[in-house]
A = this chain, B = another copy of it.
Amino acid sequence: MSRRRGVDSVPDLVSRAREGDARAVARLISLVEDESPLLREVMAALAPHAGQAQIIGITGSPGVGKSTSTNALVGELRAAGKRVGVLAVDPSSPFSGGALLGDRVRMQDHATDRDVYIRSMASRGHLGGLAWTTPQALRVLDAAGCDVILIETVGVGQSEVEIAGLADTTLVLMAPGMGDGIQAAKAGILEIGDLYVVNKADRDGASQVRRDLRSMLALADRPAGTWRPPIVETVASKGQGLDQVVLEVDRHFAWLMETGELTTRRTRRARVEIEAIAVSALRSQWGDVSGRSELDGLAAAVVAGTTDPYAAADSLLASLVD
């Protein structure tokens, strides 16, 4: 009659998630967030079923309308019959696991749609950050049968670049009146966008943003045969222009497949994930709590000035092969 809570076996959770059971998906993503020891078994079970979803990153400065755009984009994708996953990542929050304030509220258009799965995640403060948890959460949603997964980050700067590393297609959102020009140059987002969206296109200054963006993109040195990021205008709050966004996203995806770039990007993503796991394993080995670890002794020697950090790192690495 009632399901037991918290005692589900991994195979049970995985098979329920693959049938689209939202609770099982939620539970698996919580395991990812909590860095559960069960993850190893979960990921092994999911591996054969992943790789089907199209992954779209959505980034931009605070205030450009990321949540509204994501919401509108979900509507557009649902109209096309796609199952959609949404992952909202907050890289600025190393402590609070769980939901972003207000995020679910803004997404409530789709809260009761069984074919939309919405989840907020905090990325933790450990080495690796996004590199660690996000690909695993993506794999859960992917194996659960999402056709498209949107990753939205509320962060700025480095997290934008990391999101771009995770997505098949990265949308960079801009809006009039945000000083996005300087922002763009600073965060290097001119290098990461596959598609630029000028949102709030009905406001003063939108055409200026578009012109500035076009000239900045024109300055980028792109060899023949590479992708030239288009610029699309939207008014996400009114649902305007999103059809064009979906069209350009699909055109980009087709280009990724034709050129083999899709496999290149996904392989790069897997590299980062494998490395993050390997490094984490090493760190827990080095930080072994049973008595004074070798690393503690080396660190004390660095503080005392009797060795330097490079020589200490050499010793640490040498101890791996003993």
Contacts and interface: CB of A to CB of B under 8 A. Distances in A.
Interface of A: 39-40, 43-44, 46-51, 91-96, 125, 127-129, 131, 135-136, 156-158, 161, 186-188, 191, 263, 266-271, 273-275, 277-279, 281-283, 286-287, 295-296, 298-300, 302-313, 316-317, 320-321
Contacts of A40: 308, 310
Nearest to A286: B275
A308 B143 CA distance: 13
Given A127-B127, A305-B48, A313 B274 contact: yes
B135 A309 contact: yes
B161 A299 contact: no
Contacts of A44: 308, 310-311
Contacts of A307: 47
A99 to B, nearest CB: 13
A91 B39 contact: no
Q: Chain A contact residues: over half helix, strand or loop, or mixed?
A: helix
B128 A127 contact: yes
Contact of A277 (B39, B135, B309): B309
Contact of A317 (B39, B50, B129, B281): B281
B128 A158 contact: no
A14 to B, nearest CB: 12
B279 A47 contact: no
A74 to B, nearest CB: 26
A184 to B, nearest CB: 11
A302 B50 CA distance: 9
Contacts of A302: 47, 270, 273-274
Contacts of A313: 274-275, 277-278, 281
Given A270-B302, A296-B267, A309-B135, A282 B125 contact: no
Contacts of A271: 287, 295-296, 298-299
Nearest to A298: B274
Given A161-B125, A186-B96, A282-B282, A310 B43 contact: yes
25 contacts: A40-B310, A46-B308, A47-B305, A50-B305, A92-B158, A94-B187, A94-B188, A95-B186, A95-B187, A96-B186, A125-B158, A125-B161, A127-B275, A135-B309, A266-B303, A270-B298, A270-B299, A270-B303, A270-B309, A271-B287, A271-B299, A277-B309, A278-B313, A320-B321, A321-B321
Contact of A310 (B39, B266, B304, B311): B39
Nearest to A188: B95
A306 B50 CA distance: 10
